Amino acid sequence: DEESTSSFMCLLKKKKEARCMENILAEKQEDFRERMEVLAERWRDLHARRAQLKAHVERSGKTVQENEVLRNEALKKANEDREENMKRERELLRAKRELEALRKQHQKLCKKLPKYSMFKKYLEDVVEISQFQDIEEIISFYKALVRSRKDLLQSQQWHKELTEQAKVLLEQYKAEKAAEMLQCKNDLVQLKRYLHQAQSDVPLWEDRLADMQNTADKNTMKLKAIKMAIHNLFQ
């Protein structure tokens, strides 16, 4: 069904192109005819002006210098007219080539039309048994479905890309947190080692503190004895 619809759409497109080509061909033919009429009119005008110039030269009794000026002007005008005619001929040749190319394209499209005629009948039968009013409405509905499918695929692709990005970010986050946890574990082990070392050093420092306290007590007793001896000595 999708292939048939696509083929019929190609048929309608080819028909539309054929009509456009016919219109363009008609316009080119009309333009070609108008250009031919303008060219013929220019040729008639040129011959008329040449005849007038010749008659004027023959009738005039002007001096040689004036005749030379007229002749130069006539030659200049003739050269300008010749250049204009050459330009028109080039435009006419280009228009003929364009017209021939359009005619060949039109013939090519006309040859393709019978190939898709069966699909027109198929879509006409679809219109009769469906809620659609005409073939153009079916084509419009089909184009809308194609656009919706395209938008859906783009949306799915977008969500897929977002999901992939989220996965990459999640893996990066996991790796970072795992590295942080490993560092914390290493720090905890080091701190435990320091704690055990400190706990093992506590008795030693307690013993040293006790020795220092005994020494201080002895020094205090000695100091009291010295004070007492000095006091007794003064009395």
The number of beta carbons lying within 10 Å of the beta carbon of residue 61 is: 6
Does the pLDDT of residue 60 top 70, yes or no? no
Determine the average pLDDT of the residues in 190-210: 83
Does the pLDDT of residue 3 top 70, yes or no? no
pLDDT confidence of 113, banded at 50, 70, 90? low
Token pair of 112 as six digits: 């393709």
- Return the pLDDT at 111: 75
Q: What is the pLDDT of residues 154-194, one digit of tens each?
A: 988 998 998 899 899 999 989 998 898 899 888 888 888 88
When comparing pLDDT for 46 and 219, which is higher? 219
